Structure formats: structure tokens, C-alpha cells
Amino acid sequence: MYERSVKRERELAEVIERFTKQDGTHETLIPGLRFIRSSEASEPVYSVYEPSLCVIAQGAKVVMLGKESYRYDPSCYLTASVHLPITGQIVEATPEMPYLSLQLQLDMNQIVEMNELIYATNTVERTKGEFGRGLYIDRLNDTLQDAILRLVRLLDTPEDIPVLAPYLIREIVYRVLQNEQGAALRQFALIGSHAQRIAKVIQRINRDYAMPLRIHELAEEASMSASSLYSYFKEVTAMSPIQYQKQLRLQEARRMLYSTAMEVADAAFQVGYESPSHFSREYSRMFGRPPVKDIRRLHEALQAGKISS
């Protein structure tokens, strides 16, 4: 059993390496599936995880959510149930043994459908009390590993992708929901659950991140008290709604400054800050440098080949 698992792990790494000749993130012909490759350990990278399944074929990575740290490697996988601002850092990678991973976006409608099918077959109990983080790590078992490998093998026969990929993705979703930590994901697919209502609040903040945050308005939309919203939101995201919004704003401002010639004050106003000086202080606390110095360092790192564009 162990030898077969190692063989599948090596084959997965081989497929990813074959389709990623250079470091960076690579979209594939399978909708929602991308590969990531890095030939060296990275500095912290700030991003927003979409609902997705992340599997490492080679190397290791640390993900920070709020003040919590999650390390994973080929023995396990990471699942994000909602949009989450995170800090990711590749900690094991060399030119000879590059970091190789995949990310498969999760369709919440498909998860809801599969969730109902699972409950209909009575393979799990319909419990409403379970509630937890929107991000978790679970052991990669043989059945899930096999389904993932069969999905990526389709890249060698592109003509099969439109017919077979949807069925394999459904199987992967099923395997994830059936795993030990699957209850955490199932709660976000349970109509009317606290977790699903918090997921809708998260969608609203992501959409309107530059607008003033009005907790009572969000609580009313979620049919919760303000105190309940705050408590449940922090349980899912490991941060308060204001902290969550702040990370979204600062990450988007950094992206603007890095990819355009926008002035710092303009970026601050674009993401919802009224005071450029307040923006610069919070930017420095999050990224370790004032905006101008940070962006200059990022461009220098790009020219030196230390990061990808």
C-alpha cells in the first residue's frame, strides 16, 4: 500500500514537472486546475485563496492565516472553503528537487450537490453543530490521491478532458467531503447553516472591500446579531471582519503599485483609505517596508530572477 502511494506521488510530480518547464504558476487545459513550480524556497507571498484544493507533489509549504501557521507536504493536502487572505511561503525546494504542486478550484454549487447526495445515502450524519476554520489540512489517502492522479493524466490525452474531467472532479470533491476533516467543508455547503451565511458575508466583503465596513448591516444580511457575526467570522477566518478587509485592501494596493505606475496616495484612495499616511503605516506593518521601498525591492527581485512576474 505504501509503495503504491509513493509511486503515485512520484508520477504526480513527474506530470507536473513535465507541464511546468519554468518556475511560476501555470494554467492547464483542465478548467480550474493550475500547477505551481519553484526551484528555490520563497519569501512570503501574499494572496487570496479561492475555495480550492491544494496538493503538493514535491517539496513543502507554510501557509499563514491570521496568526496561525499551517505546514503541508506530499503526505497531506490543504482545502480552502472560502476566500481567505493568506501568506504562503515555499520552505523546501531546490533546482534538483523543485517544489511542485497543484491547485484545483472548488465549485461550491457542485459541493452543495455532492453534499446532498452524501446525506441522501446516509454515509455521514447531518450534523449542524460542527463549525470551524475555512482552511484545513487533512491526510492524503490512497483513494483521493488516485483520483487526483487520474485527473492530471488527462493532460496527456486532451481530447478526453471535456468528457472525463468533470466526472473526475466530482469524484475528487466526493473524496474530500468523505475524509476526516470533510465535515468542515460540508458545513459551508449546508443551506442556511451559520458557515454558509458567513461565506456570503465573506463574498460581500471581497466584492466591496473598498467600501466602509458596517458590521450591523452585514449582520442583518446574515440574519445574525453583530456579536454572533463577529464570533463566527473569526472562527472561520482566524481574524475579525475589519482585519480581513484590511488584508484585502493592502494586498490589492500592493498589486496596483507593483503592476502600474500609480502613486501611493492614489492606490490608498482606490482601496478605501482616506488618509495616505494611515495607509503607509498599515502597509509597512504588513509588508515590512513603506510602499515605495517595498515596490522597488519587488522590482529588483524580479530583475534578479528571484520572483516571477
197 and 296 within one domain: no
Burial 182-201 (b: 16+ CB within 10 A, else e): bbbbbbbbbeebbbbbbbeb
Q: Domain containing 210: what range? A: 192-239
Q: How much is the pLDDT for 278?
A: 97
Residue 50 falls inside a structural domain: yes
Average pLDDT for the chain? 91
- How is residue 299 written as a grid cell? 522590482
The domain spanning residue 177 has which CATH number? Answer: 2.60.120.10
- List for the chain the helix, strand, coil content (%; round to 5): 50, 20, 30
Assess if residue 11 is contained within a domain.
Answer: yes
Distance (Å, whole) CA 103 – CA 78: 9
Hey, is 100 helix, strand or coil?
Answer: strand
> Can you name the residues that pair with 309 across neighbouring β-strands?
none
pLDDT at 2: 67
Q: Which of 24, 22, 23, 4 is nearest to 12 (CA)?
A: 4
Supply the pTM of this predicted model. 0.89
Band of residue 182 on the pLDDT scale cut at 50, 70, 90? confident
3-state SS, residue 25: strand
Residue 120 has pLDDT above 90, yes or no: no
pLDDT at residue 258, as a whole number = 92
The residue-averaged pLDDT of 44-73 equals 95
Under DSSP, the state recorded for 305 is T
Reported as a single tens digit per residue, the pLDDT across 186-234 is 888 777 788 889 999 999 999 999 999 999 999 999 999 999 999 999 9
The verdict on residue 309 lying in a domain is no
Q: Does 143 or 195 have the greater pLDDT score?
A: 143
Is residue 289 in some structural domain? yes
How far is residue 274 from each of residues 34, 111, 194, 255, 265, measured CA to CA in Å? 37, 40, 33, 19, 9
Please give the pLDDT value at position 65.
Answer: 95
DSSP states along 33-94: EEEEEESS----EEEEEPSEEEEEEESEEEEEETTEEEEE-TTEEEEE-S-EEEEEEEEE--
The reported pLDDT for the residue numbered 69 is 95
Whether 221 and 258 map to the same domain: the answer is no
Quick one: how far is CA 278 from the chain centroid?
Answer: 28
Residue 113 shares a structural domain with residue 25: yes
160 is a domain residue: yes
| Mean local confidence (pLDDT), 40-44 | 91
- Within a domain: residue 75? yes
Number of compact structural domains in the chain: 3
Final residue belonging to a domain, choices 164, 187, 210: 187
